[in-house]
Chains A and B, each alone.
Chain A
Amino acid sequence: MTWLWSNLDLVWLRTLDHIVLSLPPILLSFVFALPLGWLANRYRPTRGAILSIAGLFYAIPSLPLLFILPVIIGTSLRSPANLIAALTLYGLALMVRVVADGLASVDPDVRQSATAVGFSAWSRFWLVELPLAGPVLLAGVRVVAVSTVSLATVGAVIGAKSLGSLFTDGFQRGIQVEIITGIVATVLLALVLDGAVVLLGRVLMPWTRRTRRIRPAPAAVLGPMPVVRSVA
């Protein structure tokens, strides 16, 4: 425990590094997933193509992807940008399906009513479909947030600084407390971000506060991939 007290500032620094690494992928994957998910939901042929490509990306192991990305997009191997790009890809792979499913969950009657009262396709998307798909999207962002925070630690083995650096450093120097501190800090950060996403959801979607539907934990909605990926 003495290690922890004398290295609190190091843990704090790595936590900040970790936040800098994990926030952009969570935001970017959501932003990129919106048009792709819309496209996947709108047309039948694109649905299959986009969702299978997303599935394939999700299947690519993270460490090899970190090695290959620099060659494809020109980032430097040990740079934060490389890790952020990889994490964004994973987040995107998850979110595209969630956005497509979320938009599909909007009642067709509501969609047709919106068209009937004169919404254009553009304003119908932003003012009707997106808010109604909100709870599904929220569950998806929660999963992306938690898994991004956890996955960001992997960069440590190639030298990208994060809370994962506490694992590699603790392992090389044989300090158990350092690794345990890293694990606890990562899980705490994941929980804090998860909570922040839930809070943001409540602020942005006040109507979900009153009608308390069964709100399952993210793991129940999307946790195991097989449930998310439709078998067909």
Chain B
Amino acid sequence: MNYFTDAVAWLLDPAHYPGPTGIPARLGEQLLFTVVTLVLASVIAIPVGFLIGHTGRGRGIAVATSGGLRAIPTLGLLTLVALWIGIGLGAPYVALTVLAIPPILAGAYTGFEAVNRATIDAARAVGMTELQIVRHVEIPLGLPLLIGGLRSATLQVVATATLAAYVADFGLGRFLFAGLKTNDYAQMLGGSILVILLALVLEGLFAGLQKLVVPRGVAVGRPPVDRKASTRRRPGMEPAITKGI
């Protein structure tokens, strides 16, 4: 437990704060990197996901691609791109944007798919154009799942950005690798605590946001368990968005 007090002492040491290699600067780098990567990935993934979700076409390809990308080790992609375009921030941006696309894409199209078909038919029946259906029905109702996709993408990016310090001089990961090199356990542990806190704070923010974006009068999630009736859900059936009372 002595290590933890050392790590806390390291975190509280004012000498570790000022300058471009201080804790606030490194934290800022990691946050900025995460935000830029997410924006880049969203710009690509969200429109494509909406298109897949609305038309129902290309879903098979999207699922296969996401599944395949999942198996690709981040570190491998990161080091390979770093060899191609050189040491620096370029490689992490490319590698992590690629990795952030699948969860956002999946969030976008599953959000659309979770919308009750009857709701969409009703929207079409009252004379909404396709674009209006997308804007006023599918996007608002699918938003919680899209935010969920952004949430897991954010977690992945903020975690892997730590690993990116292996190929570039930036972010909180520097503390981990610098500590590893000099056997400075306080620094390693202090850096690790910072990264974990950052990830948990972002996770908490997204969890809150996800609740916030549920439109009024809509209950998201699984239907209440009614032990009297058969509530068997078969594998592969996702809990649909059910309307509230």
Q: Count contacts between A and B, CB distance < 8 Å.
A: 209
Q: Is the CB of A226 within 8 A of B107?
A: yes
Q: Is the CB of A64 within 8 A of B233?
A: no
User: How many chain A residues have a CB neighbour from B under 8 Å?
Assistant: 65
Q: Using a CB-CB cutoff of 8 Å, which residues 146-184 of chain A contact chain B? A: 146-147, 149-151, 153-154, 156-158, 163-164, 167-168, 170-171, 174, 176, 179-180, 182-183
User: How many chain B residues have a CB neighbour from A under 8 Å?
Assistant: 75
Segment at the A interface, from B17-25, B35-43, B184-192: B184-192
Q: Inside 8 A of B227's CB, which chain A residues have their CB?
A: 108
Q: Is the CB of A225 within 8 A of B79?
A: no
Q: Is the CB of A60 within 8 A of B76?
A: no
Q: Is the CB of A232 within 8 A of B236?
A: no
* Distance A155 CA – B80 CA, assembled complex (angstroms): 17
Q: Inside 8 A of B79's CB, which chain A residues have their CB?
A: 167-168, 170-171, 179
Q: Does A210 contact B (CB under 8 A)?
A: no
Q: Is the CB of B236 within 8 A of A214?
A: yes
Q: Is the CB of A213 within 8 A of B173?
A: no
Q: Is the CB of B106 within 8 A of A61?
A: no
Q: Does B27 contact A (CB under 8 A)?
A: no
Return the chain B residue nearest A107 by Cβ.
B232
Segment at the A interface, from B50-58, B116-124, B145-153: B145-153
Question: A61 with B196: in contact, given A105-B234, A158-B180 (CB under 8 Å)?
Answer: yes
Query: Which 5 pairs from chain A and chain B are nearest by CB?
Result: A226-B148, A61-B159, A64-B192, A219-B67, A232-B221
Q: What would 9 more interface pairs be, CB under 8 Å, given A68-B189, A216-B236?
A: A135-B235, A158-B180, A179-B80, A179-B83, A190-B71, A216-B63, A221-B236, A224-B149, A226-B151
Chain B residues proximal to chain A, CB less than 8 Å: 1, 3-4, 63-64, 66-68, 70-80, 82-84, 102-103, 106-107, 110, 144-145, 147-149, 151-152, 155, 158-160, 162-163, 166-167, 173, 176-177, 180, 188-189, 191-193, 195-196, 199-200, 203, 210-211, 214, 220-222, 225, 227-236, 238-239
